[in-house]
DNA sequence: GTAAACCTTCCATCACAGGAGAAGGTCAAG
DNA sequence: CTTGACCTTCTCCTGTGATGGAAGGTTTAC
């Protein structure tokens, strides 16, 4: 299978496939006599795995660490569990931050509806934006 | 007021102040005879405004657009309201996405606790990670 | 008179996941 | 024999908000 076919089969652009190779996510493929990359179904599986892992919010670096364990003969499950735990904590923290930001924004939007632009002075730049209220 | 004093007064590093100037967030200051930047209280107010706007999640580019309106003599309030509305919608969308990602991660973490690493085969890379379940 | 603390400009770098374009080699069909 | 679809490597660019360093000029304190 050449890179174009793998691209069509996996839905990843050829550029991305080469990029993954440089990042250690795909092994260096064998080459045909003319230097073209030659792929197998294993590469197709890898690309699918990478997509699943990305959907779980893992970065390419983290995915590479999982793949490298597997390539070293170690089942990466416990490492994957750690990554997922950490990622979940991370997502929860971002959720908390975003929730707080949403409250802040809602307050500012309310504020913007009540204030009169006539009262907005030069020195303020705009009187709607104020320091965040810490509740 | 020189840049170091403005930095101390505002809490922004001098580098950041110069950076803001290049981004059009601060006007080009007057210069003393030796070429040093000379600032006034208005610049101090601007930096405070910028901090407030950043706390509301506005990007520097968006903040610049507000400041430029003000500099053109237009009260930027309605523009600020639009920005806040858009930002709120944006935050809400990210919240939704993150909430979905959290569910997905929770499911994967559960899955990881039930699966046996012994059953994790090479072809899968790791059998914990699967396509997202679309509920 | 010298050292510390300032100031100036310009250029490079970080994470993140690729995208864009150049310049050229290869292969099948018409 | 040429056109078009592939393929190769190379280097730079994107957005975000700064931050770091180099190389040099100035001012203040002692």
Per residue in B10-35, pLDDT tens?
Answer: 999 999 999 999 999 999 999 888 88
Question: How far A72 CA sits from the closest chain B CA (Å)?
Answer: 11
Residues B60, B65, B68, B70: is their CA dihedral positive or negative?
Answer: negative
Which pair of tokens denotes residue A108? 């500012």
Q: How far apart are CA A19 and CA A12, in angstroms?
A: 11
Q: How far apart are CA A123 and CA B49, in angstroms?
A: 10
C-alpha B135 chain-centroid distance: 32
Strand, helix or coil at A130? Answer: coil
Q: How far apart are CA A58 and CA A51, in angstroms?
A: 10
Q: According to the model, what pLDDT value does residue A134 have?
A: 66
Residue ranges of alpha helices (H) inside chain A are 3-10, 14-22, 41-55, 60-71, 77-114
Q: How far apart are CA B74 and CA B98, in angstroms?
A: 38
Q: What are phi and psi of B19, to 5 degrees?
A: -60, -45
**pLDDT tens digits, one per residue of B66-102:** 999 999 988 899 999 999 999 999 999 999 999 999 9
Instruction: Count Cβ neighbours within 10 Å for each residue of B55-84 and write b for 16 or more, e otherwise.
Output: ebbbeeebbbbbbebbeeeebbbebbbebb
Nucleic strand C contact set for A 41-60 (CB, < 7 Å) = 54, 59-60
**pLDDT tens digits, one per residue of B33-58:** 888 899 999 999 999 999 999 999 99
Which pair of tokens denotes residue A35? 């230097």
Strand, helix or coil at B38? Answer: strand
Cβ atoms of A41 and A6 closer than 8 Å: no
Residue of chain A minimizing CA distance to B110: A81
Q: Is the CB of A15 under 7 A from strand C?
A: yes
Express as a percent the part of chain B with pLDDT over 70: 99
Cβ atoms within 10 Å, residue A62: 19
Q: How far apart are CA B103 and CA A38, in angstroms?
A: 38
Residue spans of chain A under pLDDT 70: 134-135
Q: According to the model, what pLDDT value does residue A3 have?
A: 97
Q: How far apart are CA A41 and CA A38, in angstroms?
A: 11
Chain B residues touching A124 at Cβ < 8 A: 45, 49
| Yes or no, beta carbons of A88 and B67 under 8 Å apart | no
Of all nucleotides, the one whose C1′ comes closest to residue B12's CA is D18
Q: Which residues contact B84 (CB under 8 A, 6 or more apart)?
A: A105, A108, A109, A112, A128, B56
Cβ atoms of B102 and A95 closer than 8 Å: yes
Q: According to the model, what pLDDT value does residue B133 have?
A: 78
| Yes or no, beta carbons of A49 and B113 under 8 Å apart | no
Chain B residues touching A131 at Cβ < 8 A: 51-52, 55
CA dist A80 → A40, B88, B108, B109 (Å) = 25, 34, 10, 9
Whole-model pTM: value is 0.89
How many residue contacts between A and B have a Cβ separation below 8 Å? 152
| Yes or no, beta carbons of B84 and A112 under 8 Å apart | yes
Q: According to the model, what pLDDT value does residue B135 have?
A: 65
């Amino acid at each position: 299978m050449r890179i174009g076919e793998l691209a069509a089969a996996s839905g990843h652009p050829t550029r991305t496939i080469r990029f993954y190779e440089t990042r250690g996510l795909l092994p260096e493929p064998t080459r045909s006599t003319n230097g073209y990359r030659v792929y197998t179904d294993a590469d197709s599986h890898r690309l699918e795995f990478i997509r699943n892992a990305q959907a779980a919010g893992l970065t390419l670096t983290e995915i590479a660490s999982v793949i490298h364990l597997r390539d070293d003969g170690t089942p990466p499950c416990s490492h994957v569990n750690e990554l997922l735990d950490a990622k979940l904590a991370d997502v929860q923290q971002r959720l908390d931050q975003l929730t707080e930001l949403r409250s802040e924004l809602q307050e500012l939007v309310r504020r913007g509806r009540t204030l009169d632009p006539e009262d907005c002075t030069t020195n303020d730049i705009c009187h709607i934006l104020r320091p965040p209220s810490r509740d």
